Structure 1
Amino acid sequence: MKNRPRSVVTVAEFKKMLPRQVNHNTLMVILDYLEQSNKIVVGLKGITWIHSRNENLRKAVVQGLEL
């Protein structure tokens, strides 16, 4: 594996990174919240962080053309 973290991680891999005390149902609620607030995308291959604090990117998205 490379020195940089992967951009997609499965839920199972993510759970292994967390302390054992984290309940599966609690984790799923947290992931649902993050997805609803447009901070992550949960897809077939796993979880991807999409949130960005870049103001120029936010402006481009707001002013962009919807397809």
Structure 2
Amino acid sequence: MSVSTGSAHSPTLDTIRMVEDFIQEHSGEYRRRALWERLPRKVMHQTFKTIIEYLLESNKIAIDARGKVCWIYDPDLARRYLARKDLRIR
């Protein structure tokens, strides 16, 4: 999966992590625009949109019925699931 959309707005890993951390801390509090306006550092809007698209595609976030951005990724659950002995990868 590529983070780049082919534009000059490719986010750095540091910027992606900053957005991820902010969303985790404020899960379900803000809609996209309000979230973008409240980030700890300024991010170009196109870059922010690219990050949101990436986080949606990677199932780390979801947008609820009210348009609020929610963190849904649970790495501990994923690890427990993958560690199950009865899990067969095909």
For normalisation by structure 2, the TM-score amounts to 0.49
Q: CA RMSD in A?
A: 2.3
Unaligned runs of 5+ in 1: none
For normalisation by structure 1, the TM-score amounts to 0.63
Unaligned runs of 5+ in 2: 1-24
Offset of 1:7 from its aligned partner? 2.9
Output the CA distance in 1 between the equivalents of 2:51 and 2:27.
Answer: 19
Aligned to 2:20: none
Offset of 1:6 from its aligned partner? 4.7
Aligned residue among 48, 61, 78 for 1:27: 48
Letter in 1 for 2:71: W
Output the CA distance in 2 between the equivalents of 1:26 and 1:49.
Answer: 19
* SS of 1:48 mapped into structure 2: strand
Alpha-carbon displacement from aligned partner over 1:12-59 (angstroms, at most 9, x marks no partner)? 221122233x111110010000110111112342210011121xx331
1:1-40 equivalent positions in 2, closer than 5 A: 6-8=26-28, 9-18=30-39, 19-20=41-42, 22-40=43-61
Number of equivalences: 54
